[in-house]
């Protein structure tokens, strides 16, 4: 593959953060320790650990964690001998207080995540991460909802705040390969820092989109073992690594060990198969945040609705991460409207 960057490719394993949505944020310390230890032994570069909605996400609105996330971060740091433990922070959910605490416990990288048009709210958090000596990364979520020009504008803001990389984040798994080429290429031409790509597999395009991003010069990519991530999961790490190896790109991670982790360690944890079913498919089709799926299914059961109708309506409304409270409102409105029709 003729990549447009000579920087080494780094991969972040997100099953202990994005996968928290699937686990309904009920990870135990023992589970985190075992997964982190085995990932570290396999040679993983970064392992992201936090509530699915980032630092400070353990709330009634987003879902209460079984174990305090700081204990999980500390446990992962304790197990990792070479991998860097990373955390996610959404301004407005997490604060610089949680960021400082995570850093004190040993987290070495933070991805500061905002909606794709709201990069300005990341300034304080990115700046603080830089002051702490952490790797500070910008994470532009729901990237399909903005034009390429707007994406470049927002990424430049994050770069100006001190971000060492900016991610195109396909939170809904809705971006198509040609759009990945366009967006990553534009960022590559406009920024001097690294470019990353975070995929979701709701349209079965996570690995293909990640390869497209690499072809345009991205050097930061994400994966989730056994697809343990919101919706239909992310780019399946063991599959992605195998594809890259077939392409002559060796990231220094033991593929056999990653296969074993997927089969014997992570697989048994997953409450239901991570497959593209009607729920995850509608997320990509409607362009809705992947973590909304379980909330919409619960709302559908409560109001006697098809969760797909709820998600399609949310997509029309262009809801974004952090607006989970609107799911019940939309469900209630749809149920009321149908009663009036009858």
pTM of the model: 0.92
220 assigned to a ligand binding site: no
Same-domain status, 77 and 165: yes
- 326 burial type by CB count under 10 A (0-12 exposed, 13-18 middle, 19+ buried): middle
pLDDT score at 110: 98
Same-domain status, 147 and 64: yes
144 assigned to a ligand binding site: no
Same-domain status, 251 and 299: no
- 127 burial type by CB count under 10 A (0-12 exposed, 13-18 middle, 19+ buried): middle
Give the C-alpha distances (Å, rounded to integers) separating 103 from 92, 156, 254: 19, 25, 28
Give the C-alpha distances (Å, rounded to integers) separating 5 from 38, 111, 238: 30, 22, 23
Q: Do 158 and 126 meet the contact criterion of CB atoms below 8 Å apart?
A: yes
Same-domain status, 51 and 155: yes
Whether residue 58 has pLDDT greater than 90:
no
Question: What is the rounded end-to-end Cα distance, in angstroms, of the chain?
Answer: 58
Same-domain status, 65 and 172: yes
Same-domain status, 185 and 115: yes
- 2: confidence class by pLDDT, cuts 50, 70, 90: low
Number of alpha carbons in the 13 Å side-chain half-sphere of residue 261:
32
295 assigned to a ligand binding site: no
pLDDT score at 1: 59
Q: How far apart are CA 222 and CA 44, in angstroms?
A: 11
pLDDT digits (tens, 9 = 90+) for 72-118: 999 999 999 999 999 999 999 999 999 999 999 999 999 999 999 99
- 4: confidence class by pLDDT, cuts 50, 70, 90: low
pLDDT score at 182: 98
132-146, 257-271, 289-303: the lowest-pLDDT one = 289-303
Same-domain status, 259 and 310: no
Whether residue 6 has pLDDT greater than 80:
no
Same-domain status, 72 and 172: yes
- Which of 21, 115, 125, 295 is catalytic? The answer is 21
Q: Do 290 and 229 meet the contact criterion of CB atoms below 8 Å apart?
A: yes
- 230: confidence class by pLDDT, cuts 50, 70, 90: very high
7 assigned to a ligand binding site: no
Same-domain status, 214 and 312: no
Q: How far apart are CA 34 and CA 302, in angstroms?
A: 36
Neighbours of 150 (CB within 10 A): 15
* Tokens read off for 7: 């920087």
Whether residue 320 has pLDDT greater than 80:
no
Q: Report the pLDDT averaged over residues 237-247.
A: 98
In a domain, 149, yes or no: yes
Domain span at 301 = 291-341
In a domain, 5, yes or no: no
Q: What is the CATH number of the domain that holds 175?
A: 3.20.20.70
In a domain, 138, yes or no: yes
pLDDT score at 227: 97
Q: What does R_g of the chain's alpha carbons equal in angstroms?
A: 19
Whether residue 23 has pLDDT greater than 80:
yes
Same-domain status, 102 and 56: yes
* Domain end point (choices 236, 269, 302): 269
In a domain, 275, yes or no: no
Same-domain status, 89 and 187: yes
Three-class SS of residue 283?
Answer: helix
Q: What is the CATH number of the domain that holds 320?
A: 1.10.8.60
178 assigned to a ligand binding site: no
261 contact partners, CB below 8 Å, separation of at least 6? 35, 38, 39, 42, 225, 238
Torsion of CA 139, 141, 147, 153, to 10 degrees: -30
Give the C-alpha distances (Å, rounded to integers) separating 181 from 176, 187, 198: 9, 10, 14
Our answer to whether residue 25 is catalytic in this structure is no
What percentage of the chain has pLDDT greater than the value 70?
97
In a domain, 256, yes or no: yes
pLDDT digits (tens, 9 = 90+) for 260-272: 999 999 999 999 8
17 assigned to a ligand binding site: yes
How many structural domains comprise the chain? 2
Closest CA to 221 of 209, 210, 207, 232: 210
Same-domain status, 309 and 219: no
Number of alpha carbons in the 13 Å side-chain half-sphere of residue 240:
35
Check residues 322 and 181 and name the one with the higher pLDDT. Answer: 181
């Amino acid at each position: 593959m003729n990549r447009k960057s000579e920087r080494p490719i780094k991969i972040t394993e997100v099953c202990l953060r994005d996968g928290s949505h699937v686990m309904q944020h009920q990870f135990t310390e023992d589970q985190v320790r075992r997964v982190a230890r085995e990932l570290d032994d396999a040679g993983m570069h970064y392992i992201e650990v936090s509530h699915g909605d980032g630092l400070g996400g353990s709330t009634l609105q987003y879902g209460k964690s079984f174990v305090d996330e700081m204990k999980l971060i500390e446990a992962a740091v304790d197990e990792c001998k070479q991998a860097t433990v990373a955390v996610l922070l959404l301004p407005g959910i997490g604060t610089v207080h949680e960021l400082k605490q995570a850093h004190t416990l040993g987290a070495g990288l933070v991805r500061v995540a905002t909606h794709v048009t709201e990069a300005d709210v990341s300034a304080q958090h990115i700046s603080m991460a830089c002051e702490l000596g952490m790797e500070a990364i910008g994470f532009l979520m729901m990237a399909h909802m903005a034009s390429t020009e707007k994406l470049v504008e927002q990424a430049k803001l994050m770069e100006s705040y001190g971000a060492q990389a900016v991610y195109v984040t396909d939170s809904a798994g809705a971006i198509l390969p040609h759009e990945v080429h366009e967006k990553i290429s534009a960022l590559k031409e406009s920024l001097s820092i690294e470019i990353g790509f975070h995929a979701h597999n709701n349209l079965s395009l996570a690995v293909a989109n990640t390869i497209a991003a690499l072809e345009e010069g991205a050097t930061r990519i994400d994966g989730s073992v056994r697809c343990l991530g919101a919706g239909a999961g992310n780019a399946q790490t063991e599959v992605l690594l195998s594809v890259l190896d077939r392409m002559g790109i060796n990231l220094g991670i033991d593929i056999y060990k990653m296969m074993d982790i997927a089969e014997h360690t992570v697989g048994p944890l997953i409450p239901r198969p991570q497959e593209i079913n009607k729920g995850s498919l509608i997320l990509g089709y409607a362009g809705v945040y992947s973590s909304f799926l379980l909330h919409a299914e619960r709302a559908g059961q409560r109001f006697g609705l098809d969760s797909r109708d709820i998600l399609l309506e949310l997509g029309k409304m262009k809801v974004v991460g952090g607006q989970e409270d609107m799911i019940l409102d939309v469900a209630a409105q749809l149920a009321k409207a149908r009663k009036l029709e009858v």
